[in-house]
Structure 1
Amino acid sequence: MLLIEIDKTRYRRHLNILIAICIVCLFIGSFGISQLLIYLYPAPEGTHFHWNLLGVVSSVLLITIIFNIYKDHTFLNEVSYVWRLKKELNLISRKMRKLMQASKMGDEKAMLAIQFSYTGFSAVMDAR
């Protein structure tokens, strides 16, 4: 993965918009689905926990599917790049102990991975 410069204000604005859209969709979707299920299948004892839970889970799945469809859209360029970068950095940091040992033995690939981790981490911190 190559490190690229991103427009930090655009990234933050688009991330905030995406978070707001997800919150609204989760609220409306889970409430709407659970109310529809309660209307169609009322429970005589009055508890509707399973319908509410099904509404939340189905809304999360629907948001995930929609995001996966639109993740390559130009609006989400910076957001999806930073998420992919964080994923890569997480994978590297899980293996950091082995990478440090390998770099002490002179392994060039381990040194490159460590250098990428340090550079990428500083880039992610700057994006905040």
Structure 2
Amino acid sequence: MQLIDINKAEYRKKLNIVIVGFLVTLLSLSLLFGSVLISVFSDVPYAMATQDSASKVEQVDTVQEGSKEEQSPSNFKFNLLGVILALLACAAILHSLRKHTLFTEIYYVWQLKQIQNQIYRKLKQIKQSAESQDEVALIILCFYYQSLRQVYQLDDNTLTMSTVELEINRLNDIISANGLTISAAQFDKSLLSSYS
């Protein structure tokens, strides 16, 4: 994966549109699926419960307010299932639209974060190899820190930016001290297979 320049304002605008669209769709589908599940599956037990309770009410003269509430069936499981189905539907929609032009920058950043997570899991070994001037490790670290800087700038994460800049400077010192020419453009995901 190669690092590409992204317009921060355009990225934030598209991300906000996707987030709002996702939340509205999730809410609408949750309500829809929950209502359909309740109407399809909850009517039969509720009708049976009302018939049984009607015969019991004839036998008992007074009914307490709390017992009426206990007789109505709980729809929590149907509402929960509706939310789960809505989440699955939204995930399927996002997956099918990931190649759309609206999602270009968002999908790129998502892929970048996935690779960063894979590198982070092996970061200790990669750093140890980089200390012994392993070129593959240096390429991975170069890509990792530059991609972190890009994502942090896009997400306005200024708290950890100074740490990333220090790591980039330290890495550049190692590269220049050894007379190497290493850039993030040399990175390929297959390089990670060298580290378990």
* TM band (smaller chain): over 0.9
2: CA distance between counterparts of 1:108 and 1:49?
57
1: CA distance between counterparts of 2:41 and 2:109?
43
* 1:29 paired residue number: 29
1: CA distance between counterparts of 2:36 and 2:8?
41
Deviates more, 1:44-53 or 1:21-30: 44-53
How many residue pairs get matched?
A: 128
2: CA distance between counterparts of 1:56 and 1:95?
36
* 2:146 paired residue number: 119
* 1:88 paired residue number: 115
Match of 2:129 among 102, 107, 113: 102
* 1:9 paired residue number: 9
Give the RMSD, CA atoms, in angstroms: 1.1
* Greater than 4 Å deviation, 4+ residue runs: none
Percent identity at matched positions? 34
Cα deviation, residue 106, structure 1? 2.4
- SS where residue 9 of structure 2 aligns? helix
Query: How far does the alpha carbon of each residue in 1:61-93 deviate from its partner, in whole angstroms, 9 at most, with x for none?
Result: 111111111100111110000111111111111
2: CA distance between counterparts of 1:90 and 1:36?
39
1: CA distance between counterparts of 2:7 and 2:147?
15
Pairing 1:62–2:95 present: no
Which is higher, the Rg of structure 1 or of structure 2?
Answer: 2
Please tell me the residue identity of whatever aligns with 1:123.
Q
2: CA distance between counterparts of 1:8 and 1:105?
37
Stretches of structure 1 that go unaligned for 5 or more consecutive residues are none
